[in-house]
Amino acid sequence: MIQAITTNEIIVSEKESVTLPKGYKAGGMHCGIKRKRLDLGYIVSDVPAAVAGVYTTNLFQAAPLLVTQESIAKENKIQAILVNSGNANACTGEQGLADALTMQKEFAYEMGIQDHLVAVTSTGVIGELLPMGNITNGIKQILQKEYENEENFKKAILTTDTSTKEIAVQFTIDGKTVSIGGAAKGSGMIHPNMATMLGFVTTDANIAHEDLLSALREVTNTTFNMITVDGDTSTNDMVLVMANGLAENNELTKDHSEWDVFKQGLQIVCESLAKKIARDGEGATKLVEVKVNGAFSTNAARAVGKSIISSNLVKTAIYGTDPNWGRIVTAIGYSGVPVEPTAIKVSIGPFTVFENGLPSQFIEEEVKEYLESENVKLIVELNQGDSCATAWGCDLTYDYVKINASYRT
């Protein structure tokens, strides 16, 4: 099950994502929000877990986000996450808030725990009330053995996604095996600073809330906040990390000698999920990675990366396998970062296409061929300093238009 891919001492497994860490169960079922596909899922921990969350910056936060944030604030612990897809419970007013609270209360009742230990979250169509009859019925059954299935959980959180998104890693802290697992969904409305994106990360590490939150925020800035599909930041984005301590390591803090191993593990999990979301962007045929080096600050590097990865013109050119470096250079020029045009070098994969303020000599057919691959890298050297950043996104295709001209988010 565990694959032999390692980064330092961190072993990456692609299976048993959110249930690889000790003491977690997950499941999913069809309760009747969507026509046929799975639409209700849960993750539960055997014991209350420290929790950290990051949430959409959209002012129209959906009802479940309000409920979850308020609940977490009580003691910074949760024991369960309940998710529905097919309906975002956003822009649903007082009734929406009441519905989110009902979801929380009823699932807590089934588990026999306090309400505030249940996080609730929703994704799907905006502005329609949840079909509470179906959801309530679902909640009554979902903890039954037949629905306990980690694969079902990953499916139950999807909307226009074409594939499930998961990863798990293992490493050693204080001689104890620690695992981090993650599952995510997200396909449209994906933009830096969260998106219609849900990320659920579980770990059995022993770590206090404050340190977990600090690690999550740091890692989110270089992962989930660096992806874009369409520039729209949704009302429902949320990443939650649960840490139940069952690995029995000494409590992790920034002063722990193996703090960096944990943070790197979390980074691998979040980066992998973020890239999978970008790769599965609505209508996408390619994962695009933009690496920006030599910036005078990390924020400058991020701004240039986001500007390029968000450009519809760059995205359509990549779809059309057109080595159109002019559009990349244009996007650098309007990023808001004071770059020096003649100092910049731009490469498409291994091919330098722009340098010293001029197009480079390159063989168009070679670059076109490179652009046909499923993973396209654009590399920008700003030559202004030592900071760097990476952004991920996808190409813009006919299918993006097709999906969004007809699908009701």
Please give the Cα distance from 320 to 259 (Å, whole number): 44
Contact call for residue 188 and a copy of itself (CB under 8 A): yes
Report, in Å, the least distance between residue 30 CB and a copy of itself. 24
Of 14, 46, 47, 91, the one binding a copy of itself by CB under 8 A: 91
Report how far residue 177's alpha carbon sits from residue 2's, in angstroms, rounded to the nearest whole number: 13
Q: Which is nearer to a copy of itself, 93 or 133 (CB)?
A: 93
The helix (run of H) or strand (run of E) holding residue 213 is helix 209-222
Smaller CB distance to a copy of itself: residue 2 or 66? 66
From 196, 223, 233, 235, the catalytic residue: 196
In the region spanning residues 291 to 320, those forming contacts with a copy of itself, defined by CB under 8 A, are: 310-313, 316-317, 319-320
Is 327 near a copy of itself (CB under 8 A)? yes
* Residue 88, both tokens: 């975002």
The window from 55-63, 104-112, 166-174, 263-271 that contacts a copy of itself (CB under 8 A) reads: 55-63
Decide whether 159 or 179 has the Cβ nearer to a copy of itself: 159
Q: Which stretch binds a copy of itself (CB under 8 A): 54-62, 138-146, 218-226, 249-257?
A: 54-62
Q: Buried b / exposed e across 363-372, counting CB within 10 Å, b at 16+?
A: eeeebeebbe
Q: What is the smallest separation between the CB atom of 409 and a copy of itself, expressed in angstroms?
A: 6
Phi-psi region of 8 (alpha: psi -120 to 50; beta: other; left: phi over 0): left
Query: Are 181 and 21 spatial neighbours (Cβ–Cβ below 8 Å)?
Result: yes
Give dist(CA 296, CA 241) in Å, integer. Answer: 32
- Check residue 348 for interaction with a copy of itself (CB under 8 A): no
172 carries an active-site annotation: no
Determine whether the annotation assigns residue 149 to a binding site. no
Residue 361 binds a copy of itself (CB under 8 A): no
Residue that is written with structure tokens 């309530």 in the block? 136
Answer for which of 1, 4, 59, 73 binds a copy of itself (CB under 8 A) is 59
373 binds a copy of itself (CB under 8 A): no
Of 359, 362, 368, 370, which one interacts with a copy of itself (CB under 8 A)?
359
Does the protein bind a copy of itself through residue 89 (CB under 8 A)?
no
Q: Binding segment for a copy of itself among 105-113, 167-175, 230-238, 242-250 (CB under 8 A)?
A: 230-238
Both tokens assigned to 338: 């004071």
The position carrying tokens 């949704």 is 234
Burial class from Cβ neighbours inside 10 Å (0-12, 13-18, 19+) for residue 175 reads exposed
Question: Which are the contacts of 153, defined by CB distance < 8 A and separation ≥ 6?
Answer: 18, 26, 27, 28, 41, 42, 43, 183
405 contacts a copy of itself (rule: CB under 8 A):
yes
Tokens of 85: 């897809």
Please give the size of the binding site for a copy of itself, defined by CB under 8 A: 61
Q: Does 57 bind a copy of itself (CB under 8 A)?
A: yes
The number of angstroms, rounded, from the C-alpha of 261 to the middle of its chain's C-alpha atoms is 21
Shortest gap between Cβ of 321 and a copy of itself (angstroms)?
Answer: 8
What Å distances lie between residue 190 and 122, 393, 396, CA to CA? 16, 9, 13
- Residue 101 sits in the site that holds a copy of itself (CB under 8 A): no
**Please, where are the H alpha helices in 26-143?**
63-75, 93-111, 132-142
Choose one: 41-49, 152-160, 219-227, 330-338; the region binding a copy of itself (CB under 8 A): 330-338
Task: Tell me: does residue 4 bind a copy of itself (CB under 8 A).
Answer: no
Sign of CA dihedral 150, 23, 46, 62: negative
Please give the structure tokens belonging to residue 26: 């997950």
Is 409 annotated in some ligand binding site?
yes
Plot region of 172 (φ>0 → left; ψ -120 to 50 → alpha; else → beta): beta
Q: Which stretch binds a copy of itself (CB under 8 A): 37-45, 144-152, 328-336, 365-373?
A: 328-336
Per the annotation, does 282 bind a ligand? yes
- Chain residues in the site for a copy of itself (CB under 8 A): 57-60, 88, 90-93, 125-128, 188-189, 191, 230-235, 310-313, 316-317, 319-320, 322, 324-327, 329-334, 338-339, 341-342, 354, 356-359, 396-398, 400-402, 404-406, 408-409
**Which amino acids are annotated as binding site for substrate, given as ranges?**
159, 185, 196, 282, 404, 409
Residues taking part in catalysis: 196
